[in-house]
Structure 1
């Protein structure tokens, strides 16, 4: 078995604003595995590094990928347990190869085109007019669950936007989720949650910055809006620490981003531990290209989730891959008759 990697710079169609930063471009990496006797058949995965957020965001990231490939090519061991994005990519590539090199790492009724996954529509931060327009467009497209990024502009403006949407679309017609990306503080979070609660909010992700277990546990116990942990899960690799954190904070939900929380094996472990404590969950993509999104969608579909999932649609980038993923209203599906179209990639052994 041979292994190689390459870098690829994804370009946003429009700036993507969160409470942390405004994104214009995102660098990602791909890893490929193949048998030298037949290089036309290969498995591919995305090492979806998220600069500034991934626990394995390091200056020597490409050196680590190069070392991994050299070790694998010479059948030497290499511990990637602390490198979530690399683990995510390698797991995908190996499963793709094992399942016929057809980009179906998790074959199921989804990859046969027989089932779809309901997803939420994501409303990125922007001006009041921009966010209102984006919300209206998503609703017109058929989404019955919207997630708003909050905490990046004036809170009163955000409150007015969500209030307008709620007045027009009651809870039985539209579920509203919020994602603060840790933008609130322990001092102002409860006041903001109380003001938002009158708008029938389904949940809020990561109201305060991760690492503040006491503050987060208090919010989870007292918030009028169910709280979901998101960034809190990143970099927590020890099984005992995962158990302690979920028990101590006791959130209503956890958000699984496989590229950020230990690959598919790590995300599965999080789900098992959450369900053992009666904690709900859903899966969210993290700005992956269609290589990573395809794998996440297939893995998610294979678990038959009941809640709308936070999967992207691949529409953010000008230079994404052409894939069989298809969006019909708020249902993400897979067309098994469609072809993948790859750009020219420069692989490094």
Structure 2
């Protein structure tokens, strides 16, 4: 099999601000895997969490090494390919691109969508949330209304953890809450922007406003405080930045209520499936998230979405220049195509 990749830049319609900063665009990699006249696609999106950085340059170097190392393999040689990827210490976003391309190739080779190969029921897919970043109360209220008009969303994720403190967080959330239909569910993601005491206060305050769950309230460095927060929080506590892959989950089982799985952190759909099964065995709920991913990466996650309780696969909906098509947003639900593989164009 042969690998090729090319960078592509996507621009957000509305820049997204979280507790760590603002993102307006991203240059991702489109990986194409060719064998027997069939081409499988995958995507690698750069991301950073604290000192953990996967830059475009790092990912391009990964793909260059894989092009040489995997030339003699067939796409069905999954176990052998995984061993090579592990030996080369390939970063998770690059592994994700390769693994998704292998699944896409397999689906196309067998004439089946990935979700059907896995025996999944797309009728079980939950609505995907759309995200409102940190801003002024007026801007947040307008952004939430714009999202609802654009997508008919049934779930909204609100980014909190403002550097201006809890009063700013509460004012912004209240502005959204006062104008959102009761039929739209609300969740909150602080991206590690709170202290333990602040998180306890906000968990109580948000519970009074029917928030479904609270994501990454504390920095990764304060994982030890999660059990204390879980004990006092009236709403479920999820982690994102604190959980990369399946090996992280057992350590979190008694500290939180759920985990956020992202394709780029996990390293591909194969590891996403491992994470889901591990989380379920540990009694944890599962949600899916994304970075500045296009429809290609989010479309891959849509293939396994029937297995998640909460979905936040909205990044491609906020792009002005998404190069891929094929996903359907119906009644707030992101549905994978019925075509072979990922089914994208």
TM interval, shorter chain, is 0.7 to 0.9
Distance 1:93 1:74 in 2: 16
Contact kept? 1:123, 1:149, Cα under 8 Å = yes
Computed over aligned residues only, the root mean square deviation of the Cα atoms, in angstroms, reads 3.1
Alignment deviations for residues 263-299 of structure 1 (CA, whole Å, 9 cap, x no partner) = 2222222222221222111212222111111111112
Q: 5+ unaligned residues in a row in structure 2: which ranges?
A: 74-80
Q: Specify which structure has the higher proportion of helix.
A: 2
Matched residues in 2 for 1:296 and 1:5: separation? Answer: 20
What is residue 346 of structure 1 aligned with on the other side?
A: none
1:216-235 CA-to-partner distances (Å, cap 9, x unmatched) read: 2211122233210111102x
2:257 corresponds to which residue?
A: 252
Q: Which residue of 2 aligns with 1:184?
A: 194
Check if 1:126 corresponds to 2:135: yes
Q: Structure 1: how far apart are the matches of 2:234 and 2:228?
A: 12
| 1:25 alignment partner in structure 2 | 25
Change (3 A) 1:115 1:272: closer
Q: Answer yes or no: is 1:13 the counterpart of 2:13.
A: yes
If the length of structure 2 is used for normalisation, what is the TM-score?
A: 0.83
Aligned to 1:163: 174
| 1:268 to 2:273 alignment | yes
Pick from 101, 108, 113: which aligns with 1:100?
108
Structure 1 residue runs of 4 or more that deviate by more than 4 Å after TM superposition:
52-56, 101-104, 108-117, 167-171, 334-337
Output the CA distance in 2 between the equivalents of 1:145 and 1:105: 26
Match for residue 96 of structure 2 among 82, 88, 91? 88
What are structure 1's unaligned runs of at least 5 residues?
342-349
- Return the alpha-carbon distance in structure 1 between the equivalents of residues 58 and 157 of structure 2: 35
3-state SS, counterpart of residue 292 of structure 2: coil
1-side partners of 2:265 and 2:289: how far apart?
10
* TM-score normalized by the length of structure 1: 0.82
For residues 153-205 of structure 1, what are the alpha-carbon distances to aligned partners after superposition, in whole Å with 9 as ceiling and x for unaligned?
5432331333344445576x332100000011234322233333322221110
Alignment of 1:159-238 (within 5 A): 159-169=170-180, 173-234=183-244
- 1:131 aligns to what SS in structure 2? helix
